[in-house]
Amino acid sequence: MTTIRTADHMAIRNSVMRAASVAAAALTDADSDPEHRLRALMEGHGRVLTARGPGQPMTFDQFRQLLLGDLSALLPDGVPAEEMDGLRLIDDDNEFDPDMFDLDVEQRMVLHALRRAGHRGQTVGIDALDQELDQTRAHRQMTSTDSQDDYVAWRSALIEEPAGSVRDLRTLNLPATLTDFYQPIPFDATYDRWWFRCPVCRWPMKITVHGTNNRRTGQVRCFHRPHIEAGASYEFKIPDEGAMPRLNPVSTVTPARGNAEVLAPHPKPPTPEPILTDGHKALVRGVWRCTTIPGLPELGLFKALSAPHLRDKGVTAHLWPVLDSYDLLVTVPDTDGGRTELRVDVKDYTYATLLADKINADGGDRGGAEYLVVPDNREKTVSMLDAVCRQHRMHALTAGDFGAMVCEMVGEQWTS
């Protein structure tokens, strides 16, 4: 058997994952039109068959059954499961797993990195993958300016204001090419005419309704799993027609400890209030996921390292130098009177093996960063990522540990 190159494996995995995701979403959407659900299932089945090739058939009934289990079982023989090993599209509550959006985006980013490195191969699934990512277009629009100040202001706005009223969004003074990424509140984040901000990222939260007749209840959760774990999970009783739904928290958050405590979200944030969808917009999901979400630790680190007690010790921090060559430049004074520069790239991948693949494909960091920093909630991935980074003369650590390292260099405490 001819060995398929890495880029082709990635393209096949992404093609299968995207097709199966469409089908799984339809399978779990009991409120959708039955004909529409069947059409989506059949389309997903056909795309998976195309990816598997003529020598590996799969009946429609087999496809439906496999959607309930390990995603990797849908892959053709000879294609390693890698990041898809053990993943399930549908959870134990018969709900579609929202992390699949992250998997799609991260697979496509790695595939583009592999292509840049010259690893080109077959065209299975490539037509869909070649559609330019929203976040890629947004980044190109931001870097079209010659002004570093404009770039920092625009990117900060996308991080701090991922959703809001049309009136408030106008005050951000974004160019039209960026305001176009703000669209009406997504349908799956609305109940009746209401939506809710995530208390961590301020983007609309996903709303679902469960139960039948008088036992129906609403569930509201952030689309980003770490934010659910940080407390962005609520429920509400179905209100009378036209009345506002009122949220109640459903989880108890364990406060962060150690170095992670400084940048951690508040363990008991105010319960979100309902907001009318009319006159409000939110960033498209790709820009929110790839700009707003990783931008939270970027801005958090910048603000913490710009604190007066660190400035007094000579620490300086700069965001996205040279129009985002990397994410953060931190300088600290040396004992001999010079200065040490620390170049940081912040990454927030749900699937750490894909981030490792991207680091290898890029040969390290393309912008010259020496430190790969991940959010504190990704602490368990640091050991594996650091082993990969060291092959490219980089180091991986959490945001909290990086902040503590800088403070130690100048004899200060890492505190909020």
Residue 216, number of CB atoms within 10 A of its CB:
11
Residue 168: how many CB atoms within 10 A of its CB? 13
In a domain, 140, yes or no: no
Confidence band of 229 (pLDDT split at 50, 70, 90): very high
Residue 143 falls within a domain, yes or no? Answer: no
The last residue of a domain, from among 74, 106, 131: 131
Q: What is the C-alpha end-to-end distance of the chain, expressed in Å? A: 57
Place of tokens 């130098």: 321
- Say how far apart CA 281 and CA 163 lie, in whole Å: 6
378 and 267 both lie in a single domain: no
Kindly report the average pLDDT of the chain as a whole number.
89
Half-sphere exposure for 208 (CA within 13 Å, toward CB): 17
Residue 158 sits in the same domain as residue 277 = yes
Q: What is the mean pLDDT of residues 392-416?
A: 95
At 322, the pLDDT band (50, 70, 90 cuts) reads very high
Three-state SS for 80? Answer: coil
Same domain, 303 and 273: no
For the cut 60, the answer to whether the pLDDT of residue 252 exceeds it is yes
Q: Are residues 29 and 85 in the same domain?
A: yes
Q: Are residues 180 and 198 in the same domain?
A: yes
Mean pLDDT of 217-234: 94
d(CA 134, CA 139): 9
Whether 61 maps to a domain, the answer reads yes
Among 248, 264, 283, the domain boundary falls at: 283
What is the predicted pLDDT for the residue at 10? 83
Give me the torsion for CA of 158, 163, 167, 171, rounded to 10°. -20
Alpha-carbon torsion (87, 91, 97, 99), positive or negative: negative
- According to DSSP, residue 332 is labeled E
Question: Do the Cβ atoms of 288 and 174 come closer than 8 Å?
Answer: no
Provide the greatest CA pair distance for the chain.
Answer: 74
Question: Token digits for 372?
Answer: 């790969």
Are 56 and 178 part of one and the same domain? no
pTM: 0.82
Taking only the tens place, the pLDDT of each residue in 271-284 is: 999 999 999 999 99
CB 229 within 8 A of CB 265: no
pLDDT tens for 160-205 read 999 999 999 999 999 999 999 999 999 999 999 999 999 999 999 9
Lowest mean pLDDT among 32-41, 141-150, 357-366: 32-41
The pLDDT of residue 108: 83
Q: Are 274 and 161 in contact (CB under 8 A)?
A: no
* Domain closes at, from 263, 283, 303: 283
- pLDDT tens track for 62-119: 999 998 888 899 999 888 888 888 888 887 777 777 778 888 888 888 887 777 665 4
Give me the pLDDT at residue 211, please: 79
In a domain, 139, yes or no: no
**Out of 68-82, 224-238, 399-413, least confident range:** 68-82
Mean pLDDT on 151-158? 97
Residue 136 lies in a domain: no
The range of the structural domain enclosing residue 25 comes to 6-131
